Amino acid sequence: MKRTVDDLAAFGGTPLFDRLLHVGRPSDVDRRVLAARIDGAMERHWLTNDGPLVRTLEATLSEFLGVRHCIAVSSATVGLQLVAKALGVRGEVLMPGFTFVGTATALSWIGLTPVFCDVLPESHNLDPAEIRRRATSATAAILGVHLWGRSCDVEQLEAAARELSVPLFFDSAHALGCSHRSRPLGNFGCAEVFSLHATKVVTSLEGGVVTTNDSDLAERIRQARNFGFVKEDQTVALGINGKMNEFSAAMGLTSLEAYPGVRAHNVAVHAAYRATIVHLNEISLIEPSGPEWNYHYAILQLQEPDGFWRNAQHRLLQKENVLARRYFTPGVHRSAPYAESGHVPESLPVTERLADTLLSLPTGTQLSPAEAAAIGEFIAFCYAHRSEITDRLRGTG
């Protein structure tokens, strides 16, 4: 543990950890089970195109999420595009400015125009009042994002979608295993899209899954995922290659089996973080929005309205080999290509404040709860010596 400010790695001390601790590090799975599944695919000589492992993953996820249809895809990005295309969306899509830039670029890439709305300070999710403020005659859809796995105000978004007579769908990239009012996410809007990227709580390396209770929509998405084919030599609509391969499905299934243990581990990691910072008024760890939460993201919220101290914390942690992240700085509306487009709001105050004050900390089985406690104690130490550290970082101490 650090005793004086001189002990900080940023000022020449020994780093707290002798290995790098990443945000987004994939959690452990049973490698023998994974290898057996991959071996089976090799034995079958069936590697992609709606293979048996993909079908099993879809069926298992359908049951897990309590949703009628799960369609495995090559990434959440492609999943969002397939949903938008299958819904026939053309024009402007109202979406939050505070999300991963890929939520917006998925839409822009297929010719849609994201219209960035501000988010609610409590949930970090799309503010329904903003929908009404920013809707135009060109509004064609609403895209909510369940950021950090905390559910959007689904009912308010549904009401807004009804008023505007446009479809509502969700980017649920962070939200596998989470719920809204006791119902699993995956069951809301026209469709939801989960990411199974390596950085997610359940992973298929690269991959995603579209969920819907609408059988016609599911059918159109299935067709579009495979070039628009319905049978050999026959396409019925515009399609693309959005398929998941068998190795990814093998990993997805094995990772889903590990999920209960990973979640329990992350509950302990969260508890360790919380216990070490709970006495500090200036920071908090964001809390679940309901009983079902995957605890995959550990997000520290600092009270400072300017980014200096958050950025200082980020830098100090990195020097200690804790590779904290500033998700999602600077806000999509202030990122290329949108910032230069001239079509973005001048300011989204809540988004900008969050972009300056949040810090993502490591979770997952790479990190023990004791190590999480050490990170939390380090942060508390920095707060206790804040003015001295600030002076030294500003070059005045």
Q: Which secondary-structure segment (H or E) carries 103?
A: helix 101-108
Q: Which stretch binds ligand T4K (CB under 6 A): 81-89, 183-191, 195-203, 331-339?
A: 195-203
Give every CB contact of residue 40 below 8 A, 6+ residues apart in sequence: 53, 250
Q: How far is the CB of 119 from ligand T4K (least distance, A)?
A: 12
Residues 229-248: x where in contact with ligand T4K by CB under 6 A, - otherwise, as a string: --------------------
User: According to the binding rule CB under 6 A, does residue 48 interact with ligand T4K?
Assistant: no
Q: How far is the CB of 385 from ligand T4K (least distance, A)?
A: 27
Nearer to ligand T4K, 174 or 263 (CB): 174
Q: How far is the CB of 198 from ligand T4K (least distance, A)?
A: 4
Residues linked to residue 134 through DSSP beta bridges, in sequence order: none
Q: How far is the CB of 20 from ligand T4K (least distance, A)?
A: 8
Query: Which member of 86, 117, 126, 145 binds ligand T4K (CB under 6 A)?
Result: 145
User: According to the binding rule CB under 6 A, does residue 183 interact with ligand T4K?
Assistant: no
Nearer to ligand T4K, 357 or 389 (CB): 357
Nearer to ligand T4K, 128 or 252 (CB): 252
Roughly how many angstroms between the first and final C-alpha of the chain, as a whole number?
22
Q: How far is the CB of 99 from ligand T4K (least distance, A)?
A: 5
CA dihedral 340, 141, 57, 234 (to 10 degrees): -100
Report the residue closest to ligand T4K, judged by CB. 24
Distance of alpha carbon 124 from alpha carbon 75, whole angstroms: 24
Q: How far is the CB of 340 from ligand T4K (least distance, A)?
A: 20
User: Of the candidates 205, 242, 320, which has an alpha carbon nearest to the alpha carbon of residue 48?
Assistant: 242
Q: How far is the CB of 102 from ligand T4K (least distance, A)?
A: 4
How remote is the C-alpha of 164 from its chain's centroid? Answer: 27
What sign does the dihedral 285-361-255-226 (CA atoms) show? Answer: positive
Are β-strands 69-73 and 358-361 bridged in parallel, bridged antiparallel, or unpaired?
unpaired
Give the DSSP letter string of 105-172: HHHHTTT-EEEEE-B-TTT-SB-HHHHHHH--TTEEEEEEE-GGGPPP-HHHHHHHHHHHT--EEEE-
Residues 4-43 that bind ligand T4K (CB under 6 A): 22-26
User: According to the binding rule CB under 6 A, does residue 334 interact with ligand T4K?
Assistant: no
Distance of alpha carbon 301 from alpha carbon 376, whole angstroms: 13
User: According to the binding rule CB under 6 A, does residue 210 interact with ligand T4K?
Assistant: no
Q: How far is the CB of 101 from ligand T4K (least distance, A)?
A: 9
User: Of the candidates 275, 331, 270, 280, which has an alpha carbon nearest to the alpha carbon of residue 302?
Assistant: 280
The three-class DSSP label of residue 186 is: coil
Nearer to ligand T4K, 100 or 378 (CB): 100
Residues 64-123 that bind ligand T4K (CB under 6 A): 75-77, 99-100, 102-103
User: Of the candidates 364, 65, 329, which has an alpha carbon nearest to the alpha carbon of residue 193?
Assistant: 65
Binding site for ligand T4K (CB under 6 A): 22-26, 75-77, 99-100, 102-103, 145, 171, 173-174, 195, 197-199, 208, 323
